[in-house]
Structure formats: C-alpha cells, structure tokens
Amino acid sequence: MPVYEYECGECKKIFEIQQRIADAPVSVCPECGGNVKKLISMSSFQLKGGGWYADGYSSFAGKAACADTGSAPSCSAGSGGSCCQCPAAN
C-alpha cells in the first residue's frame, strides 16, 4: 500500500498515512482538525543490482563490449559508427 504525505495548513505539521489508491484523500489534520493538503514527495523507488539497463543499455556496457572484443559493435542508429566512438557514450 502506498504512503502519502500531508501538511496541515493550521499547525504546519507534516504527517504520513498509508492508504489504498482508491481511498479518498485525507482532508482533516489528526492533531488539530485543520485542513490538510497532499504533498508531492520524493519516491522511495530504486533500481538496484543488475538488470536490463546495466546489462544492455548503459554506456558502460558498450565500452565493455569494445574493450572485450577489440572491435566496436555496429551502431543501431544508422550512422555506421560505433558506440565506442559516439560522444554520448563517453
């Protein structure tokens, strides 16, 4: 269940509430009874470890392929160059 963050307009207290997505937003502060507004807070979602990005799409993977084989992989963008020579890969 997601955790939502709210701020009270009266007492300025910031608090978190665990709610289902279908639940109605909180409108009253549990401390003072004032009106609250939902805050947009930083997500706690993180990608860690190996995965599709690290294995095939990062610039590090292209550099490793160039170093391992001694030749550059062909460019899929149609320029005929390689990822090793691409300014974006450096």
What pLDDT sits at residue 28? Answer: 95
* Residue the block writes with tokens 């860690």: 48
Question: What pLDDT does residue 42 have?
Answer: 77
pLDDT at 24: 92
Length of the chain, in residues: 90
Q: What is the pLDDT along the chain (90 residues), one digit of tens a residue?
A: 888 999 999 999 999 999 998 999 999 999 999 999 999 877 777 777 666 565 555 555 445 555 555 554 555 555 555 566 666 655
For 36-64, give the DSSP string. EEEE---------SS-HIIIIISHHHHHH
| Model pLDDT, residue 38 | 93
